[in-house]
Structure 1
Amino acid sequence: MADREFAHILIYSTQTLIFSILALLLLAYYRGFGRTYVKFWLFSLSALAVNQLSLTLESVFNQQEVGSVIDITIALVRQISNYLYFLFLMLGIYSATTQKKILPQVIFIGIIVAITIGTVAALLYGFSSNSVFNRFYLRESLAAFVFGCGFIAAACYLFSSNIQHFSGKILFIFCFSVGARFVTFSFASIVSLTEDWFRHLTEWLIYVDLGIHTTLGFIILIWMQGAERHIADTAINRAKYLDKHDALTGVLNREQVLEKLTNEIKISEGGGNKLCIYLLDIKRFKFVNDTYGLKVGDLILGETARRLNHSLLKPKVVGRLSGDLFLYVIDYDNEQQKLTAVDHIHALIARPYHVAQQEVHLQCSVGYCDFPSDADNADDLIQKSNLAIFQARSHNIQSVKYVAGMQSNGRHLLEMANEIRRAITNEELILHFQPQLNLKSNRLEAAEVLVRWQHPDKGLLAPGQFFDDIEALNLFSELDNYVLDKTCQTIAKWYKTYKRRVPLAINITADEFQATNFICNIKCLLKKYDIPPIYLELEITENVVITDIELVMKTIIELQNMGIKVSIDDFGTGYSSLAYLRRLPIDKIKIDRSFIQEVASNDSDLTIVKTMIELSHGLGKRVLAEGVETKEQLQLLRNIGCDAVQGYFISKPISEEEFTKYLKRK
């Protein structure tokens, strides 16, 4: 009897030591790698070590009376640690196979349930020496049944999860075997508890459990090694994939586009086929990012790549070169197929994008060239398609085919881009001012801000000498921001020097006026230079309005609430001018010079101008006439009720130095 107790003490104490060491190893591993499942298994092995320690103490104090403090304490620790061991083992299996975060509330509830069951099993019938069978059923049979069902359920879960690494199969076999052991013991204890063979079985199960627990420790270590190897292999494969594919969209990246296109060129040369290389650029994609957010923009790029990859034309190459620039390559037999492909690309992009409960409508610019007629290698083909798409963007054309001679224009624009940006940085772009005369008071009312380029080599350049390049390079937004800053700076400087402020009117392009940060930028400038908003006037054309009238109206209202005046420039040259005039909450109408040139000699122009003035006044808007060049024009405009004029008869655009003469007059 004493030998048997000593053997039990030796077995349980050895297992306590082993699982304590394993728990310390898992703690070190968890601190290094931070895997959640390792943390659960660390708690599980720690609870198992405590459970084995309680069994050791139970064997040492086996002569204690039933219900004594030592007996109840050991029973409590043993039962609670047993259920906690099982709980954290199951949580670890779930976490290891799904990589999902388990809610803290779930863990807390599980711990409370485990402690409750363990406490009830230890205390119920724990103080009565006559309740031996009831205590056994609660402490041994119930635990065996719970563990058996739990392990079998875990085995079924592992089988259905299709774990990739080998340790998953080992854990499946272990869970099924241990589940069968516990379920069998639970049913056997119910029907054969008083039989001698069951007592001998219980003795042998101590050694079986020793093997089970030892195997569990090895399985945990094997799982961790297999899982980390699987993670490493996945990371290596992903790195290889990302080395060849764009991380955001999944299509080929720039390097692989060149490689794949080169291979397709070789195949085409051998078979005598022809290729068409398309570059497509999504229009106003920055506006999408600014309006809907970067996440929506990324989803749209991914959807664009998917549409191109799965298009009916079965492209040879699809790739993303940068930003919103995609490459699309097909082989063709005749010219009609190329044109069909262009229409197909536009149709793919024009389909509404449904992302984040938003419906986004987009268009694209397309530039394309041919192999072998335009170039015979991948780099040159992409470069020439890029020149074609540059022409498409610059001239707002949907599709452009590469033609010889585009290189020289491209080089010119590249040089101009560097020069214009340098001019902005070095403040070579200077402001000129054209006075506006109030016809009621016959005094200076305001001035329109105009830009000149004081080129270091070419001298003073008029807008017509560089505005086309700015438009082609899409640099108007940068120019607008520069002019706004310089204008506000000038208003502040004049007040400091002459104690006078003159309202200055600035032309704003569509892109800048509709930018999401436009209002914020204006507020910052007013605060930076301490300028009252009434001295800043923004001029927009009707082309700005028709792009998105609702957005424009919202922006105008915000500006007016700040105290900034907004006027329509070149009125009468856009679409449905009178209809827009009725809807827009603007302050001033600027009649285009084309109506003023012959107003004194052409009855039709006179009637049109008079109607514009009467209609504008009827809607509560002031009217300014541009391009006044003669005394007759001036007098006629005064007679028909025009509020203000500007033009060469009043003054041509003049430098700041000349304009300050107006400010010196009292």
Structure 2
Amino acid sequence: MGVDNNFALGFLFSIETAVYSFLTYLLYSFYQGFGRRYVKYWTLSLACLSVQHLALSIQKFLPQFHELTPVQILLTCIVQVNQYLFIWFFFIGLYYTNKNLKYSNRLVKKTIIVPILLGIFVSLLFAFDEQAVFNRFYLRESLADFIFAGIFMFIFFFVFNLKKLHFSGTILLFYSALMCFRYLLFSFLSVGFLTEPWLQDLTAILVYFDFGAKVTLGFLLLVWMQGAERSVAEIAINRAQYLDKHDLLTGALNREQVIEKLPIAIEQAVKNNQKLAVYLIDIKRFKFVNDTYGLKVGDLILGQIAVRLSESILLPLVVGRLSGDSFVFAIEIIEDSQQQKAAQHLHDLISRPYLVNQQEIPLQCSVGYCLSPQDSSEAEDLLKKANLALFHAESQNIPSVKYESGMQSHGRHLLAVEKEIRQGLQNNEFILYFQPQLNLLTNRIEGVEALVRWQHPEKGLLSPDKFLPDFDALGMNGELDNYVLDLACKTNAQWYKQYKRRVAIAVNMTAVEFQDPKLISKIQTLLFKYDVPSSYLELEITENVVITDISVAMDTIVVLQNMGIKVSIDDFGTGYSSLAYLRQLPIDKIKIDRSFITEFSTNDSDLTIVNSMIKLSHGLGKRVLAEGVETLEQLNLLRKLGCDAVQGYFINRPLPPEKIANYLTRKK
């Protein structure tokens, strides 16, 4: 009977091994497809259960000896270690299903050693004492059941505290309560009634009960995964629907939703006997923020801007992000005078410093706006007209501009001009003329200033006043600066190759390009490309360029000077607070604006100003060049006042590159 019973149990354990292996395969296939971490541990859990029951079946099929053999001890170790790993991996997998909990992969891996050591310990303790049958049973069965009961009790409370339970979670809740009761009851009964015959019958029944319970657990895990993936799919669908309507970065409405919401807002404003004011907001110099502080900081600031606009006391009906650093803001108003007040409110919102990483970052914005129904009742048309007003605000450097009917023709003009300009840059239609600069001490040419002209294929040679305003309005000053820098360095290299002489070339820089963090690397690349020594390149900037961000300007100037490139202030005296910050700037040269030179020989006030500028500049260790010198009297007076250099029509008009040869071929 004992042999038959062992054979029956061995056959049962073999069937269990096959069933658990099949469930393991299903879980592993799911893990391969979806890569969920908790499925990985549940797969390992069922794999350990399969190994445990394989070892049990082998134990039952092997001949039974009175003395313990090494094979039996080994199989017992395998059984004990894998049953503890089974429950431990199951709990770790369940723990990983809660994404709100923090965990360490290294810590989880280290804890695996606990069930392994426990399994080995209970297998070897009393293993070689033939009289310690009861002790072995208590360690391998009673203790194991007690530990399992504790773990299932913990699982019960863990699942009970989960915020959201799907169907399989509810079943697992009752399952863990039942298994806790099963293991706890048998643990106590086995200690107190081990020798009772009915306990042996109960043990035989529990073998089949455990088989059904563990198979149920395997399928329960599969149902759990299906429910979990359904929840993930629902979240993904909801997120996709949200993202379809909102900007991913800021949470504001995206362009499509703005177009959809504006007609509703217009209709609501009409019902309330009010008007809808639509504002387009563009953040100034936001590229500079991204380049200086990093894209992550820029993204955080954009998010803060969206929050400020949404929480405005004006209670906006529509807040959206159209693109990049461009936002739309729509509110109801009663009187037209409220439009400008609202625009000022937007400036106040945007200009409040942004605190990022304990650093305050100030920003400014440009605002263009229009009104419905006066300007239009169509969403697309309102955005188009607000954008025209915004374009006018940016091109004219005005904080806020209201749409006017004439702006459309100006916009069409700029569209046509932009195409011409881009084609001109591509075809090298923009050329350089060079105006000589005379050193009054040596009476020789010390350098030339590069002045751009447009050799238009239809309109002929155009002076800067004919096309520079269009560059400014189109925001293409940076592209022109790069073009002129490249052409100046190329021309300098050609002069040296042809005449074996070099002359310093001064190039005007706009605020956009001078504040570009990549300016230094661009210049280094050009000097290396054309093999031009840095001392033969000079950059001219206006006071307004510096005052825009004096700290950044000073840092750039210092780096340029360390490279050997001279930096001068152009049109000095026409900007703001010239004398106040002149001493702070590490520049090499001051260029006095022609407006002070024109009449200074006959105007005592201008004479006094020029004299003061020269003395002040020399006192600060800076050279002085006077622009617009057109008479011998002006030249002699500037020489007498101690001016270092001059340029103007009296010296020479701006010349094409080939005519500079007259200066380059003269003997030194």
Match of 1:45 in 2: 46
Match of 1:534 in 2: 535
1:582–1:619 Cα contact (<8 Å) kept: yes
Q: CA deviation at 1:467?
A: 1.2
Match of 2:631 in 1: 630
CA separation of 1:516 and 1:65: change in aligned 2, threshold 3 A:
farther
CA separation of 1:232 and 1:519: change in aligned 2, threshold 3 A:
same
Q: Does 1:243 align with 2:244?
A: yes
Match of 1:76 in 2: 77
- After alignment, is 137-146 or 425-434 more displaced? 137-146
Q: CA deviation at 1:123?
A: 0.9
Match of 2:525 in 1: 524
Q: CA deviation at 1:528?
A: 1.4
Q: CA deviation at 1:120?
A: 0.8
5 Å-filtered alignment, 1:252-263, equals 252-263=253-264
Q: CA deviation at 1:10?
A: 2.0
Match of 1:373 in 2: 374
In the alignment, the residues of structure 2 paired with residue 602 and residue 261 of structure 1 have an alpha-carbon distance, to the nearest angstrom, of 61
CA separation of 1:398 and 1:188: change in aligned 2, threshold 3 A:
farther
In the alignment, the residues of structure 2 paired with residue 453 and residue 100 of structure 1 have an alpha-carbon distance, to the nearest angstrom, of 66
Residue type matched to 2:376 in 1?
A: A
Match of 2:551 in 1: 550
Match of 1:428 in 2: 429
Residue type matched to 1:557 in 2?
A: V
State TM-score, norm by structure 1. Answer: 0.96
Residues 522-553 of structure 1 show CA distances to partners (whole Å, capped at 9, x for unaligned) of: 11111111111000001111111212222111
CA separation of 1:600 and 1:338: change in aligned 2, threshold 3 A:
closer
CA separation of 1:612 and 1:118: change in aligned 2, threshold 3 A:
same
1:16–1:49 Cα contact (<8 Å) kept: yes
Match of 1:465 in 2: 466
Residues 229-285 of structure 1 show CA distances to partners (whole Å, capped at 9, x for unaligned) of: 222222222222222221222221111111111222234445543211111111111
In the alignment, the residues of structure 2 paired with residue 272 and residue 337 of structure 1 have an alpha-carbon distance, to the nearest angstrom, of 15
In the alignment, the residues of structure 1 paired with residue 657 and residue 101 of structure 2 have an alpha-carbon distance, to the nearest angstrom, of 67
Match of 1:291 in 2: 292
1:449–1:506 Cα contact (<8 Å) kept: yes
5 Å-filtered alignment, 1:644-663, equals 644-663=645-664
SS in 2 for 1:460: strand
Residues 135-187 of structure 1 show CA distances to partners (whole Å, capped at 9, x for unaligned) of: 22222222222222222212212221223532222222222322232233323
Match of 2:60 in 1: 59
Q: How many percent of aligned residue pairs carry the same amino acid?
A: 57
State TM-score, norm by structure 2. Answer: 0.96
- After alignment, is 158-167 or 486-495 more displaced? 158-167
SS in 2 for 1:583: coil
Q: Which runs of 5+ in 2 are unaligned?
A: none
CA separation of 1:118 and 1:538: change in aligned 2, threshold 3 A:
same
In the alignment, the residues of structure 1 paired with residue 405 and residue 456 of structure 2 have an alpha-carbon distance, to the nearest angstrom, of 31
Residues 432-461 of structure 1 show CA distances to partners (whole Å, capped at 9, x for unaligned) of: 100001111111100001111111111111
Q: CA deviation at 1:347?
A: 2.1
Match of 2:152 in 1: 151
1:273–1:332 Cα contact (<8 Å) kept: yes
Match of 1:8 in 2: 9
In the alignment, the residues of structure 1 paired with residue 342 and residue 608 of structure 2 have an alpha-carbon distance, to the nearest angstrom, of 51
5 Å-filtered alignment, 1:236-635, equals 236-635=237-636
Match of 2:107 in 1: 106
Residue type matched to 1:429 in 2?
A: F
SS in 1 for 2:319: strand
Q: CA deviation at 1:116?
A: 1.0
SS in 2 for 1:397: coil
- After alignment, is 321-330 or 57-66 more displaced? 57-66
1:508–1:540 Cα contact (<8 Å) kept: yes
SS in 1 for 2:112: helix
Q: CA deviation at 1:352?
A: 2.2
In the alignment, the residues of structure 1 paired with residue 152 and residue 563 of structure 2 have an alpha-carbon distance, to the nearest angstrom, of 70
1:571–1:589 Cα contact (<8 Å) kept: yes
Q: CA deviation at 1:102?
A: 5.0
Residues 327-359 of structure 1 show CA distances to partners (whole Å, capped at 9, x for unaligned) of: 111112223433332232222212222234432
- After alignment, is 318-327 or 101-110 more displaced? 101-110
In the alignment, the residues of structure 2 paired with residue 141 and residue 507 of structure 1 have an alpha-carbon distance, to the nearest angstrom, of 90
Q: Which runs of 5+ in 1 are unaligned?
A: none
In the alignment, the residues of structure 2 paired with residue 410 and residue 587 of structure 1 have an alpha-carbon distance, to the nearest angstrom, of 41
1:163–1:169 Cα contact (<8 Å) kept: no
Q: CA deviation at 1:397?
A: 1.4
SS in 1 for 2:560: helix
In the alignment, the residues of structure 1 paired with residue 223 and residue 402 of structure 2 have an alpha-carbon distance, to the nearest angstrom, of 61
Task: Write out the 4+ residue segments of structure 1 that deviate beyond 6 Å after TM superposition.
Answer: none
Q: How many residues align?
A: 666
CA separation of 1:576 and 1:341: change in aligned 2, threshold 3 A:
closer
Q: CA deviation at 1:93?
A: 1.0
SS in 1 for 2:40: helix
SS in 1 for 2:331: strand
- After alignment, is 353-362 or 254-263 more displaced? 353-362
Q: CA deviation at 1:66?
A: 4.9
SS in 2 for 1:98: coil
1:593–1:626 Cα contact (<8 Å) kept: yes
Q: CA deviation at 1:602?
A: 2.1
For the aligned residue pairs, the C-alpha RMSD in angstroms reads 1.8
- After alignment, is 437-446 or 224-233 more displaced? 224-233
Residue type matched to 1:458 in 2?
A: K
Q: CA deviation at 1:377?
A: 1.1
In the alignment, the residues of structure 2 paired with residue 418 and residue 511 of structure 1 have an alpha-carbon distance, to the nearest angstrom, of 21
- After alignment, is 571-580 or 645-654 more displaced? 571-580
SS in 1 for 2:97: helix
SS in 1 for 2:276: strand
Residue type matched to 1:593 in 2?
A: R
Match of 2:171 in 1: 170
- After alignment, is 262-271 or 496-505 more displaced? 262-271
